[in-house]
Structure 1
Amino acid sequence: MKIIVPMAGRGSRLRPHTLTVPKPLIPIAGKPIVHRLVTDISKVLDEPVDEIAFILGDPAFFGEDVVGSLKELAAELNAKASIYRQDQPLGTGHAIMCAADSLSGPAVIAYADTLIKANFNLDKNADAVIWVKQVDQPEAYGVVKLNEKKEIVELIEKPEEFVSDLAVIGIYYYKDVEVLKKELQYVLENNIINGGEYQINDGIKRMIQSGKVFVTGEVDEWMDCGNKAVTVETNTRMLGFLEQDQEPLIDPDLIQDESEIIKPCYIGKGVVLNNAKVGPNVSIGDGCVIENTSIKNSLVQTNTTIKNAKLDNAMIGNNVQYDGEFTTVSIGDYSVLK
């Protein structure tokens, strides 16, 4: 089994946090999004993962530090890491074809901007599975249309009239991903473009038209990381799940003086709390100092100092110095506010 992870996008909706860090490496409850996604998928698959192919963007942004972290991730899962580059933002179908050398055999394709909780019961009689989640506003999503056999017969992007409330979440299984490769090659060679880009959906539609059987898989939880507000919400939900699973979330060597922690919280290595009230639903990365501050429902990355603040629904980047009274903030890396 292979896992294919397109992650070349810059994450513009999550700026300023993605100006210096690729969105898939933004930490949620102390672990980068892509690490959580790939680890969770590998846990629920019913067969070993032998290769993980990562499709990255510009090397100036997705540099050797990113490559190194992804190779370490694959090694932790006893899999080979394959690194590919998408030099131009030409769409989801184009991104997958950048990993053409890895497109053979059974594979899961997962876009690295979402997190899930699910049991992957693969239907081995189907040619492919598209994971979906029931949503309240299907007109805002791409949805699947099913026939009486519960097979997928059509993909509709943001339907103006009700077709289905099952939204595509960006995770797919192919019994033989080389079939998708063949159809996407046709899409590229014949310049089939939608929205100015080559889309995975056009390859999928060609597979359906040729008689390939697609079915749905449903996830228990689907957590987006598209912008600051939903990323903070996803951090809150993930902390709740991890606490339920009794995962250790607070470094045992935490230094604290006259401080209170209201769980669930993630607190990394080398953190210092001085006259601080932290939680609930807060993640604080390694090397941070929190002083004379109350903070809840927030995400703070690494090596940041926060003083004299009362924060709620905040997202603060790496290496920030913050001393102030604003409550709901979104501050990027290396910022200084005093």
Structure 2
Amino acid sequence: MKIVLPVAGNGLRLRPYTENLPKCLLPVAGKTILDWIVEDSLFLKPAETIFITGYKAETVDSFLAERSAWGKTRTVVQNNPQGLGEAISLALPFVGDDEPLLIILGDTLFEADLSVLEQADENILYTFKVEDPRRFGVAVTDAEGRIERLVEKPQEFVSDEAIVGIYYIKDTKVLKESLKYLMVNDIRTKNEFQLTDALEMMIQKGCRFRTAPVSKWLDCGLAETLLETNAHVLNRNDNSADFIRDDVKVIAPCYIGKDAKLTNCTIGPNVAVGDGCVVENCTIENAVLWNGVTVCNKQLDNVIIHE
């Protein structure tokens, strides 16, 4: 199996935080978004993990150079982004026709059982049940959970199973053929080459797809949702019990980074303090402090401090 992570986006909705970092490297609960995604998939032992980069590509390259524990990695630059379908097509020359492929969008966190992929014998799209399917692409399934068709933002109810951005492809050769057909014939949706159009072609050609559930779908697309995701994920990386000082109160869940200096403050709940931060005379809750930040004499709530 190979894993492909598209991380080329420029994160415009997260300005100013993405002015110097790609969205996938924003800190959440003591790690980057990319750390959480990749570390949760390492048990699958991919032969290679391919990152489709674009915005701040050199920053991702430098980051990956420090992640030797991730095994073999490769970056492919999407110079002129023309949709997710085009992004995936750039990775396919490095994936064998008979080699399973796991695609995970590199800007959203999730909680899902990926272990089913170790024995999977068909294509799988992970889905999350939503209250308002009109905002999403959805999978329409039969009684046995087999996908019959994909529908983009249906205005009339056809399914509540939203496609969340985790795609396991067993029929890699057919995916290659479908994406090539779209691109050679310049078939676009909303002026982009869409992966879902290629997947729909695969279904129509007889490829078997089924759904698998996502128990949590954690958005990182806006500052407020990033903070909500930080609060949830901190339960997996809470080290507040390790930080005990007479003049410092840390309320779980919190993550306190290496060499952080806290003096006369109350931290938490739901706060991630980056490495090397200095915090003095503060009360902070529901916040993310990036590495090296200094905060003094403040009362903060629901904030991201990046400089």
TM-score tier by shorter-chain length is over 0.9
- In the TM superposition, residue 266 of structure 1 has moved relative to its aligned partner by 0.5
- In the TM superposition, residue 41 of structure 1 has moved relative to its aligned partner by 2.0
Does 1:76 pair with 2:69? yes
CA shift digits 1:269-328 (9 cap, x unpaired): 1111111110011001011111111111111111111122111111111xx2xxxxxxxx
Match of 1:145 among 131, 134, 140: 140
Letter of the 2:53 partner, please give it. Answer: L
CA distance in 2, matches of 1:241, 1:156: 34
Letter of the 1:53 partner, please give it. Answer: I
Does 1:5 pair with 2:1? no
Structure 2: stretches of 5+ with no match in the other structure: none
2:84 paired residue number: 92
Match of 1:102 among 86, 91, 94: 94
Residues 269 and 283 of structure 1, relative CA distance in 2, 3 Å threshold: same
Residues 257 and 196 of structure 1, relative CA distance in 2, 3 Å threshold: farther
SS at match of 2:41: helix
Does 1:16 pair with 2:16? yes
- Matched ranges for 1:174-323 at <5 A: 174-243=169-238, 249=239, 258-317=247-306, 320=307
CA distance in 2, matches of 1:258, 1:34: 34
- In the TM superposition, residue 42 of structure 1 has moved relative to its aligned partner by 2.5
CA shift digits 1:86-130 (9 cap, x unpaired): 00121000111111322321110001011112212136332x100
Would you tell me which structure has more helix in proportion to its own residues? 2
Letter of the 1:67 partner, please give it. Answer: D
CA shift digits 1:116-151 (9 cap, x unpaired): 12212136332x100011112211211111123321
CA distance in 2, matches of 1:256, 1:87: 50
Equivalenced residue count is: 303
Letter of the 1:91 partner, please give it. Answer: G
CA distance in 1, matches of 2:229, 2:41: 17
Using the size of structure 2 for normalisation, the TM-score is 0.94
Does 1:118 pair with 2:88? no
CA distance in 1, matches of 2:95, 2:196: 17
- In the TM superposition, residue 184 of structure 1 has moved relative to its aligned partner by 0.4
Q: Which segment is superposed worse, 198-207 or 99-108?
A: 99-108
CA distance in 2, matches of 1:188, 1:36: 32
1:288–1:303: 8 Å Cα contact kept in structure 2? yes
Using the size of structure 1 for normalisation, the TM-score is 0.85
Give the % identical residues. 40
CA distance in 1, matches of 2:93, 2:245: 51
1:36 paired residue number: 36
**CA-based RMSD:** 1.8
1:251–1:268: 8 Å Cα contact kept in structure 2? no
- In the TM superposition, residue 33 of structure 1 has moved relative to its aligned partner by 0.5
CA distance in 2, matches of 1:186, 1:282: 48
CA distance in 1, matches of 2:38, 2:182: 28
Does 1:51 pair with 2:45? no
2:260–2:277: 8 Å Cα contact kept in structure 1? yes
Q: Which segment is superposed worse, 294-303 or 174-183?
A: 174-183
Letter of the 1:124 partner, please give it. Answer: A
CA distance in 1, matches of 2:65, 2:275: 21
SS at match of 1:277: strand
